[in-house]
């Protein structure tokens, strides 16, 4: 029994006319007649009564019609659902992110995905870089927004955009009103950072930048998240160096551009190379598009007091 035969039968059962059913189906009347004869042959009983002037349903034909309609509807719905899943319009995506991406980029991506694919359920976990890499490897998340990530170990990593690094200072800091600050002017400051184990690549980048400017931070004060880091800076416990999209969350701090040559940091999107989640393709396309939109015009760090 073929789906085509069932569809032909239902068309004739609705029209009770072979030629009109053939027109609706876009095939010849002979094709419709032949396929229904084959269907009846496979079933072993007639579904239709035929005369030169009339087509009707047998009792068995009525019963078959009532069974075919919901069965084909379920198959059609299954095909539509499968198509939505294959196109990334339906399913589930688990993302990881931390720091600046959570304030602008990730919310914009979520809004776009919700508009494009309302049936796609997206969840976001606030995770450090190291925690994201671990979760990617063990299947805890489908994709992560990382700095200092590298492809390898079964991961695909694509850059989204680069942005200037900026100094985040207490509002009453001696350099708070400066148009720009050189990194070596911060040589005696306590540097507030994520623990190295949580943000290995970004942590090492900042320490390396300081070394290139001829100094090591006096002290590195570790804080597990951006909220705590900003609170420590606002309290005068130190300064931090963050991407220019870093959100000060209303704390009493000032963001001052770093003088040229201004260092930059690159945000990447990473996911398992072996992943077969169709929603990932939609996420990757959307993330690149939103990143392009947010990075135009070219990044420029702006001072601002929260």
Say which residue the tokens 């929603």 belong to: 279
**Residue count (the chain):** 306
What pLDDT is stored for residue 249 in this prediction?
A: 62
Predicted pLDDT at 32? 93
- Cα–Cα distance for residue pair 220/241, rounded to 1 Å: 12
**Average pLDDT, stretch 78-91?**
85
Where is pLDDT greater, at 306 or 204? Answer: 204
pLDDT band for position 305 (50/70/90)? very low
Contacts of 108 (CB under 8 A, 6+ apart): 290, 293, 294
pLDDT of residue 164: 94
Q: Is the pLDDT of residue 299 over 50?
A: no
pTM: 0.75
Enclosing H/E stretch for 60: helix 59-86
**Cβ within 8 Å of residue 220, ≥6 positions away:** 190, 191, 192, 193, 207
Q: By C-alpha distance, which of 109, 185, 183, 177 is closest to 145?
A: 109
Average pLDDT in the 59-84 region?
90
Q: Return the pLDDT at 302.
A: 44
Strands 190-193 vs 219-222: parallel, antiparallel or unpaired: parallel
- Distance separating alpha carbons of residues 40 and 34, to the nearest angstrom: 10
pLDDT class for 88, splitting at 50, 70, 90? confident
Assign 297 a pLDDT band (cuts: 50, 70, 90): low
Cβ within 8 Å of residue 19, ≥6 positions away: 29
* Residue 54 pLDDT greater than 60, yes or no: yes
| Structural tokens at position 227 | 């909220």
Residue 247: per-residue pLDDT: 72
- Beta bridge partners of residue 286, listed in sequence order: none
Amino acid 215: pLDDT: 92
More confident residue, 24 or 298: 24
Q: What percent of the chain has pLDDT over 90?
A: 69
Amino acid 304: pLDDT = 47
With cut-offs at 50, 70 and 90, classify the pLDDT of residue 77: confident
Are the beta carbons of 98 and 242 closer than 8 angstroms?
no
Domains and CATH numbers, the chain: 3-86 (1.10.10.10), 90-160+268-305 (3.40.190.10), 164-264 (3.40.190.10)
| Tokens found for residue 243 | 């991407």
3-state secondary structure of 261: coil
Q: What percent of the chain has pLDDT over 70?
A: 95
- Give the pair of three-digit tokens for residue 137: 């490897």
Q: How many CA atoms lie within 13 A of 286 on its CB side?
A: 21
pLDDT band, residue 85 (cuts 50/70/90): confident
Average pLDDT over residues 115-127: 93
Per-residue model confidence as pLDDT tens digits over 147-180 = 877 767 789 999 999 999 999 999 999 999 999 9
Q: Which two tokens stand for residue 196?
A: 């190295």
pLDDT tens across 192-233, in order? 998 888 877 888 999 999 999 999 988 899 998 888 888 999
Q: Is the pLDDT of residue 101 over 80?
A: yes
Mean pLDDT score across all residues of the chain: 89
């Amino acid at each position: 029994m073929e789906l085509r035969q069932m569809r032909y039968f239902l068309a004739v059962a609705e029209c009770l006319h072979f030629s009109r059913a053939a027109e609706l189906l876009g095939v010849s009347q002979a094709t419709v007649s032949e396929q229904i004869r084959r269907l009846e042959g496979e079933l072993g009983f007639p579904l239709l009564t035929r005369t030169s002037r009339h087509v009707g349903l047998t009792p068995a034909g009525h019963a078959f019609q009532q069974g075919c309609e919901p069965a084909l509807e379920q198959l059609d719905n299954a095909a539509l659902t499968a198509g939505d899943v294959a196109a990334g319009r339906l399913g589930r995506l688990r993302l990881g992110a931390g720091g600046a991406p959570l304030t602008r980029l990730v919310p914009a991506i979520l809004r776009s995905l919700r508009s494009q694919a309302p049936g796609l359920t997206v969840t976001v976990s606030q995770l450090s870089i190291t925690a994201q890499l671990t979760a990617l490897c063990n299947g805890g998340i489908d994709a992560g927004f990382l700095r200092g990530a590298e492809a390898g170990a079964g991961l695909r990593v694509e850059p989204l955009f680069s942005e200037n690094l900026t100094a985040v200072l207490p509002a009453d800091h001696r350099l708070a009103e400066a148009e720009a600050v050189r990194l070596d002017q911060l040589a005696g400051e306590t540097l507030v950072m994520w623990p190295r184990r949580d943000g290995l690549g970004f942590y090492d980048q900042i320490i390396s930048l300081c070394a290139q400017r001829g100094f090591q931070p006096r002290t590195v004060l570790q804080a597990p998240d951006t909220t705590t880091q900003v609170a420590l800076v606002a309290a005068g416990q130190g300064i931090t160096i963050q991407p220019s999209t870093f959100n000060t969350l209303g704390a009493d701090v000032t963001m001052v551009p770093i003088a040229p040559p201004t260092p930059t940091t690159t945000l990447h999107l990473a996911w398992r190379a072996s992943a077969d989640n169709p929603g990932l393709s939609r996420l990757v396309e959307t993330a690149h598009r939103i990143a392009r939109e947010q990075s135009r015009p070219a990044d420029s760090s702006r001072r601002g007091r929260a």
